[in-house]
Amino acid sequence: MSTVTTPGRVTTPSGDHPRRRLDWRLRFAALSLIWGFSFLLIKVGTEGYAPFQVTLGRLVFGTAVLAAAMAVRRERLPRGARTWGHLAVAAFLLNALPFSLFAYAELTIPSTLAGICNATSPLWGMALSLVALSEDRPTRVRVAGLGLGFLGVLTVLGAWQGFHGLDAGGTALALLASLSYPIGWIYVRRTLAGTSHSHLSMTGAQLLLATVQLAVVTPLFTTLPTSLSAGPLLAIAALGALGTGLAVLLQYGLVAEVGPTTAQMVTYFIPVIATAAGVALLDESLTWSTPVGAVIVLIGAALTQVRPKPRAQRLRADTCDPAGKPQT
């Protein structure tokens, strides 16, 4: 559930080198848990508030956490009308739209299914990159992963039963939400890669713009709640402060320390945790096709991320014997 812009390079604020108090594996596990439980928190939030209100609250709390982090690190918001324009689009595609779609989807589908739909983002990303990114060439392994992943989606949805008992509208919204992420990533890659602004600065501005977008939309489609439900309100606060704010900071640190490839592996743990949380804490039903299909989806998604070796590396391999010594 990546929700932030990822410029071409990650910079640390003002040349500082933040101290690592926890091993990156522990922070990786924490990020997996936070994002895995996010779908449960969305479900609880929608029990007391409208989906747009859940999303707005989530963004407000998340932006507050990033604003505090920026203040501590003495970060400034990026400058330039063009940068802010691109960030506004990124905010819509990576935050405002998918957050709202997941909130509306969970009105009619279980949080477990929403979490599994989120895991299809790498599949959508692979399919879109073949069209939008000319340098991203397909391979047999990646195409096979794409086909296997969508076979897993059909397994989760019980296609052989004619999707019996499935809310088609809610499922479609969750899948559209997962599709929105790679569209946003491709847009960011084309417009904001290589920016001189830090990752934290760009993400703070992005969440701020998403908050403004929801602040405009929410009053048009919702009315003020007649009473404040404490449980759902706490869920929204946790969703924003942890699932959006703290999670972004954890992701930022992981990308800077171990690289984007390793940090991206968190995607494969989210549906597992979301399913376990939904079944254990919300008593959501689980049939055999859900975990089996989820495993197939994750295997397919992992295969789509396999990159071919660079040409120079292949040439070196071709000119070396099995022991790694150059052939003569």
* pLDDT more than 90, % of the chain: 50
DSSP 3-state assignment of 98? helix
What residues form DSSP beta bridges with 326? 320
> Residue 19: its pLDDT value, please?
53
> Residue 135: its pLDDT value, please?
57
> Residue 21: its pLDDT value, please?
63
The residue type found at 44 is V
> Residue 14: its pLDDT value, please?
40
| Backbone Cα Rg of the chain | 21
pLDDT in tens, 2-12: 666 555 444 44
Q: Tokens 């920016």 appear where? A: 195
- Mean confidence (pLDDT) of the chain: 84
The residue type found at 319 is T
DSSP 3-state assignment of 206? helix
Report which of residues 219 and 255 the model is more confident about.
219
Report which of residues 294 and 41 the model is more confident about.
41
Cβ-contact 182, 1 below 8 angstroms:
no
Query: Average of pLDDT values for 236-263?
Result: 89
The b-or-e profile of 31-68 (16+ CB within 10 A means b, else e) is bbbbbbbbbbbbbbbbebbbbbbbbbbbbbbbbbbbbe
pLDDT in tens, 25-77: 899 999 999 999 999 999 999 999 999 999 999 999 999 999 999 999 999 99
The residue type found at 10 is V
Q: Tokens 């939904």 appear where? A: 278
> Residue 44: its pLDDT value, please?
97
Query: Average of pLDDT values for 166-171?
Result: 88
Calculate ∠ Cα 179-52-42, nearest 5°: 70
- Rounded-to-integer distance, Cα 67 and Cα 80, Å: 19
pLDDT at 163 over 90: no
Residue 77 backbone dihedrals phi, psi, to 5 degrees:
-65, 150
> Residue 9: its pLDDT value, please?
43
CA dihedral defined by 65, 70, 73, 74, rounded to 10 degrees? Answer: -150
Where in the chain does DSSP place strands (E)?
A: none
pLDDT at 317 over 50: no
pLDDT at 17 over 50: no
**Cβ-proximal residues to 81 (8 Å cutoff; 6+ apart), any chain:** none
Which range of 48-57, 148-157, 277-286 scores highest in mean pLDDT? It is 48-57
> Residue 301: its pLDDT value, please?
81
The interaxial angle of helices 24-46 and 230-238, nearest 10 deg, is 150
Host H or E run for residue 288:
none
- Rounded-to-integer distance, Cα 304 and Cα 148, Å: 10
